[in-house]
Chains A and B, each alone.
Chain A
Amino acid sequence: MKIHEYQAKDVFAKFGIPVPPGKIAFTPDEVEDVARELEGKVVVKAQVHVGGRGKAGGIKLADDPKDARAKAEQIIGMDIKGLTVEKVLVTKAIDIRDEYYLGITLDRDARMLVLILSAAGGIDIEEVARETPEKIAKVHIDPLIGIQDYQITQAIFGSGVDTTKSREIRSIVRKLYNCYLEIDGSLAEINPLVVTTDGEVIALDAKINIDDNALFRQPDLEKLMEVGADMDAIEAEARHKGIAYVHLSDGNVGVMGNGAGLVMTTMDVVSRAGGKPNNFLDIGGAATAEVVEDAFHLILLDPNVNGIFLNVFGGIVRCDVVAEGMIKAYQKLPRKVPVVLRMTGTNENIARKMLEDTPLVYESTTEAGAAKIVEMLGGQS
């Protein structure tokens, strides 16, 4: 789960990480008021769950409250990579001397957390990592003993940051690590971590992702979830219904099945057959009529979909039960598009018989099913 910069800064502040003073605002009026409170120059920052806000024109410096209002009028309501800006963070402008990168995340290949520190902050850290990996210090953290002082020292001296600021940076690293663990983070990132012209070290930006699996024990953070804020409307609807759905858009074939790996493979096979998968949808272990019906409706929300391929491996679920659910669900379809069904497993033959007098087309293999749906759609993609 992602949270906004202003929310992440609140979290950082609770853990004692210095952040610039600021406040969230929803209207140009509010922005003007906040700017007046803060005094002097301010920065107006779009709060959307997407990277590259600055480049998209979502972050602007304002000289005074009137100017802040004008900038807010430009930013609020603007579209950044498909997401509409509904609120902005207004913060006091900081005179920056240096911009660093500081982050903690999971290194899944090492199966450990990794601390990342670099003097080359403020820009795309992935590019820095690719082009000039020597500018980045990485330290793996043993989760059973936690981060050690010497490791922070290694990071500070290996990263090219101003070592006269060691004390301040060390303190922020410790607080960020504690924060990461306490909030069940999957990413805690400060980019940039700045040294001001006055020599202060401050988190100018804040990014926190929280492990979805841990939300059950983070009730305060779970409340911050804005369902749909980082996904499109169909994905948001799927989230509400508790269905694992990923929208790929502009494809013509809706794809669903039971099990993530099988669905991914089905998408690959549809693609090989000359179709274009529109989505990923995993109906999971319970292929009941209700779930199948919900799944159909979700897939058909995209008007580009003009056919559906359902692929079920009936290990424990019975094929006749799935077929019954399918037939019921099909009757209620808002748009009657061609549907190809491939099932294998217990009671496969009964299921096949049940489908004979219906518009649902049965195929016995994934490859044949994919070829069939593409053929029924006229082979176009």
Chain B
Amino acid sequence: MAILADKSSRVLVQGITGGEGTFHTPRMIEFGTNVVAGVTPGKGGTTWKPEGIAASVPIFDTVDDAVEETGADASVIFVPKRFAPDAVMEAADSGIEVIIAISDGIPINDMVKVYSFMEQTMTTLIGPNCPGLVSVGECKLGIMPNHIFKPGPLGVISRSGTLTYEVVNQLSEGGLGQTTCIGVGGDPVIGTSFLELLMEFEQDPATECVVIVGEIGGSDEEDAAEFIPEMSKPVVAFISGRTAPPGKRMGHAGAIVSGGKGTAESKIKAFEAANTPVADTVPDIVRLCKESLGK
């Protein structure tokens, strides 16, 4: 079991013939993802065949064509930042249910518009500027390394890339497998917040505990913490950036403490108020998950 995407997901890759798409699509297929189509305007009617992989993927000019021909219901977007907002809206307009936008560097005002557009659709957007989603043993939509996952009872949501891999890797090595792991993205405006994903995990019978890997900036962690008391499952939290000074952007555009908002203290306090243990280190996450699961 998993949230948002699983074995039955029929996956489309927008920007499949570009550098990122060419590199990561074969790895998604190796993971077991059912990649049914690619979209590159102008290359419709051709077939894309990755090196070293038996599969070949039909290419379409538009998402509409791809959906009609292949029944694609999820999309991974690798297109460059200039075209990414348009690609997201096109996918949503064509009825794609889950969109994973890997593309980074998208202007904020474009994302504000895209967010508002998405609110009027039934589509879930993860990202942009994110590593994507992995439903363990089912499918991978994005760029996370294939080998770190292990099936098990944990849901993982994070704002980072490599830090997510680090956490997942240590959980797996500690004997704690995962249902679905999602990187929501490091930008100030992202499609889906921690809160919405917590709600999804609450509904997923296979997920017994959720790990939130948060960081400074914004108030998505605080918003998520408010929902935890209503959940039937335990949550373990972690906050990155405790030593970051205010006014300095720590790599991610969204990781900044400004105007006294978005501090690590405020986030830790919010989780503690929700009786949610906050791990001090990554090994601590593993320990707290074991405790929460009664292991």
Residues of chain A touching chain B, judged by Cβ–Cβ distance below 8 Å, are 106, 108-109, 111-113, 126, 130, 142-144, 181, 184-186, 211-214, 216-217, 244, 246, 248, 257-265, 267-272, 277, 280, 282, 313, 315-316, 344-345, 365-367
Of residues 170 through 217 on chain B, the ones whose CB sits less than 8 Å from some CB of chain A are 186, 188-189, 213, 215-216
Are A268 and B241 also in contact (CB < 8 A) when A126-B260, A246-B249 are?
yes
Q: What are 5 A-B contacts with C-beta separation under 8 Å?
A: A106-B189, A126-B259, A248-B243, A259-B163, A261-B240
Residues from chain A with a CB closer than 8 A to the CB of B107 are 184, 211, 213-214, 217
CB-CB nearest in chain A for B129: A213
Most chain B C-beta atoms within 10 Å of own C-beta, residue among A185, A214, A264: A264
For B155-171 the 0/1 string (1 means CB < 8 A from A) is 00011111111100100
Whether B240 and A264, one on each chain, are in contact in the complex, defined by CB atoms closer than 8 angstroms, is: yes
Query: Which residues of chain B come closer than 8 Å to A367, judged between CB atoms?
Result: 281, 283
Q: How far is the CA of A18 from the CA of B294 in the complex (A)?
A: 66
Contact A315 B260 (CB under 8 A): no
Query: A interface, by DSSP: helix, strand, loop or mixed?
Result: mixed
Chain B interface extent, by class: 35 or more
- CA distance in complex: A268, B163 (Å): 13
Are B109 and A144 in contact (CB-based, < 8 A)? no
Complex contact A106–B112 (CB within 8 A): yes
- Do the beta carbons of A315 and B165 come within 8 Å of each other? yes
For residue B274, CB closer than 8 A to chain A, the reply is: no
List the B side residues contacting A130 at CB < 8 Å.
260
Is B269 among interface residues, defined by CB-CB distance under 8 A? no
Question: Chain B contacts of A280 at CB under 8 A?
Answer: 244, 248, 250-251
Known contacts A111-B189, A367-B281; can you find 13 more A-B pairs with CB under 8 A?
A: A108-B218, A109-B219, A111-B112, A143-B112, A248-B248, A259-B160, A261-B186, A264-B250, A264-B251, A271-B243, A280-B250, A344-B166, A365-B283
Residues on A with beta carbons closer than 8 Å to the beta carbon of B241: 264-265, 267-268
* A residues near B283, Cβ cutoff 8 Å: 365, 367
Smallest CB–CB gap between A230 and chain B, Å?
A: 10
Given A142-B116, A260-B255, A267-B244, are A315 and B186 also a contact pair (CB < 8 Å)?
no
Given contacts A213-B253, A268-B241, A367-B283, contact A261 B109 (CB under 8 A): no
> Could you say which of B143, B160, B255 has the most chain A C-beta atoms within 10 Å of its C-beta?
B160
Tell me whether B105 is interfacial, beta carbon within 8 Å: yes
Contact B109 A214 (CB under 8 A): yes
Q: Is the CB of A258 within 8 A of B113?
A: no
Distance to closest chain A CB from B173 (angstroms): 10
When chains A and B are docked, how far (Å) is the Cα of A269 from the Cα of B284? 12
B144 within 8 A of A: yes
In the assembled complex, the Cα of A353 lies from the Cα of B243 at a distance in Å of 33
Q: Which residues of B in the span 93-124 have a Cβ within 8 Å of any Cβ on A?
A: 105-110, 112-113, 115-117
Taking a contact as CB atoms under 8 Å apart, the answer to whether A271 and B242 are in contact is yes
CA distance A280 to B256 in the complex (A): 13
- Given A261-B240, A262-B163, A365-B283: A248 and B145 interface contact (C-beta under 8 Å): no
1/0 per residue B46-87: CB within 8 Å of A? Answer: 000000000000000000000000000000000001100000
Instruction: Please determine whether A261 and B162 come into contact, CB atoms closer than 8 angstroms.
Output: yes
Q: Does B245 have its Cβ within 8 Å of any Cβ on chain A?
A: yes
For B160, the chain A residues whose CB sits under 8 A away are: 259-262
Give chain B nearest CB distance to A160 CB in angstroms: 22
The CB with the most chain B CB atoms within 10 A, among A108, A142, A213, A282, is that of A108
By a CB distance below 8 angstroms, the chain B residues around A258 are 162
**Quick check: B159 and A261 within 8 Å, CB to CB?**
yes
Q: Whole-angstrom distance between the alpha carbons of A80 and B244 in the complex? A: 23
Of the candidates B143, B164, B251, B254, the one whose C-beta lies within 8 Å of that of A263 is: B251
B163-A143 in contact (CB<8A) = no
A216–B82 CB distance below 8 A: yes
CB distance from A285 to the nearest CB of B (A): 9
* Closest chain A CB from B264 CB (angstroms): 9
Interchain nearest-CB distance for B83 vs A (Å): 12
- Report the minimum CB–CB distance from A250 to chain B (whole Å): 11
Question: B163 to A246, Cβ gap below 8 A?
Answer: no
Interface residues as binary, B30-46 with A (CB distance below 8 Å gives 1, 0 otherwise): 00000000000000000
Selected contact of B106 from candidates A111, A213, A268, CB within 8 Å:
A213
A315 contacts B145, C-beta separation under 8 Å: yes
Q: Is the CB of A144 within 8 A of B116?
A: yes
Q: CB distance A268 to B113 under 8 Å?
A: no
Q: Tell me whether A264 and B189 are in contact (CB under 8 A).
A: no
A269 to B281, Cβ gap below 8 A?
A: yes
Q: Which 8 A-B pairs have the closest CB atoms?
A: A261-B160, A260-B251, A259-B162, A261-B163, A315-B145, A214-B107, A262-B162, A264-B241
Known interface pairs A111-B112, A271-B243, A365-B283. Does A213 touch B81 (Cβ–Cβ under 8 Å)? yes
Which residues does chain B contribute within 8 Å of A259, judged by CB atoms?
160-163, 251
Q: Are A261 and B164 in contact (CB under 8 A)?
A: yes
> What's the nearest-Cβ distance from chain B to residue A129, in Å?
8
Verify B112–A113 contact, CB threshold 8 A.
yes
Q: Is the CB of B166 within 8 A of A112?
A: no
Q: Is B282 an interface residue (CB 8 A)?
A: yes
Min CB distance, A249 to chain B, in Å?
9
In the complex, what distance in Å separates the CA atom of A130 from the CA atom of B148? 45
